[in-house]
Amino acid sequence: MATLERGFKAWAERTAAAIRVDLGLTATAALDPGTLAAHLAVQLLRPDEIDGLPRDICIQLLETDPWGWSAATLELHGKTTVIFNPKKSHGRRASDIVHELAHVVLGHEPAKMVFSQDGQLATRTFDQKQEDEANWLAWALLLPRDALFTAKKSRMVPAEIATVYGVTEMLVNFRLKMTGVNAQFQRGSRRRA
């Protein structure tokens, strides 16, 4: 996350809180990615729901190499669309979708696909700063610091928090560390000892 400008993390936390208010969510409520997508007027589709997508591409994405991709944002028939991988776990899928929606909130330019002359090999442009920004905002939307604090105060373990918020346990542990919630509780337990 070295690419994040000073103050971005705090801005992302405030922006996530404001978006959650717009959605009518409390600081401790779970966020449904579909609700956020609807709020942003973004359509969510699996590859097999895309009209006109060749069958061989669907097979590649969903059967041959379902673990080689997560989600992507593109314009499809004039509408911003997030194509997501339904083969990922529920928690990972939520993170992938909200990451793509964070790109929309941040106004990032979509990655460009570059094909070889024979049309077979595709690469895409990649901007690490934009990826880091989208990650941080997505994670703040899915797991606000207040929610983590309340969960820890209620003595919930990371697996329980992950289940309640529909994310991975790995994301819970990362956010507990990066938001300072773990450190705050460790200081409190040392004072009581």
Mean pLDDT of 69-81: 88
Residue 181 has pLDDT above 90, yes or no: yes
Please name which of 95, 103, 85, 126 lies closest in space to residue 40, comparing C-alpha atoms.
103
What would the two tokens of residue 164 be?
A: 């309640």
Per-residue model confidence (pLDDT) at position 48? 93
- The CB density around residue 98, as the number of other CB atoms within 10 Å, is 27
pTM beyond 0.85: the answer is: yes
Q: pLDDT (tens digit, 9 = 90+) per residue, 133-177?
A: 999 999 999 999 999 999 999 999 999 999 999 999 999 999 999
By CB atoms closer than 10 A (0-12, 13-18, 19+), residue 94 is buried
* Residue 48 DSSP class: G
Per-residue model confidence (pLDDT) at position 53? 84
Q: What share of the chain is helix, strand, coil (3-state, %, to 5)?
A: 55, 10, 35
Per-residue model confidence (pLDDT) at position 133? 96
